[in-house]
Amino acid sequence: MVSASYRSLISKSLVIALLLSILLPARSFAEAQPFNDTDNSYGRAEIEALSEAGILSGVADGYFEPARPITRAELAKIIVLSAGLEENPDGASAFRDVGTDSWYRGYVGALLAAGITKGTSADTFPPTLP
C-alpha cells in the first residue's frame, strides 16, 4: 500500500515537471529538438521538459516513440527521478526477472524500499509489461 506522503510527493513532483514545461522559455525554431518523433505529440512540451531535466531519455538514436505504451521499468525510472529517490539495486534482489545487470534494477529497488510498488508475485516484477 502506498502511503499518503509518497502519493503526495509523487503528485507534487509530476506537477512541478509539468509546470516547468509551461514556464520554460520558448525554443527557437532553429534549435535542435531532442527527439525526432514528438513533433505531432500532444505531450511534446512535457516530453522535452522532462528530457531536459534528465528524467526521460527516449528509446534510442533520437527517438521517443510517444505512442508506445510505457513499461513498468520505464515508469519506475520516471517516478524515482521525479521524486528524488536514491537508486537501490539491492532492493530488487528478490525478483528473478530483474537482472543484476539491468538498467532499471536500482529504480525498481528504490520503489520497493519506499513502499511505492511491489511485484506481481513474491519473486516477479514483470519490468517489460506496460
pLDDT in tens, 44-65: 999 999 999 989 888 888 899 9
Domain ranges of the chain: 1-68, 69-130
Q: Say what the pLDDT of residue 26 is.
A: 44
Contacts of 36 (CB under 8 A, 6+ apart): 62, 63
What is the reported pTM? 0.71
Average pLDDT over residues 99-110: 96
Name residues whose C-beta falls within 8 Å of residue 129's C-beta, 6 or more positions apart in sequence.
71, 72
3-state secondary structure of 60: strand
- Coil vs helix vs strand at 113: helix
Nearest-angstrom CA–CA distance, 35 and 51:
9
pLDDT given for residue 1 in this prediction: 52
Determine the length of the chain.
Answer: 130
- Would you state the pLDDT for residue 21? 55
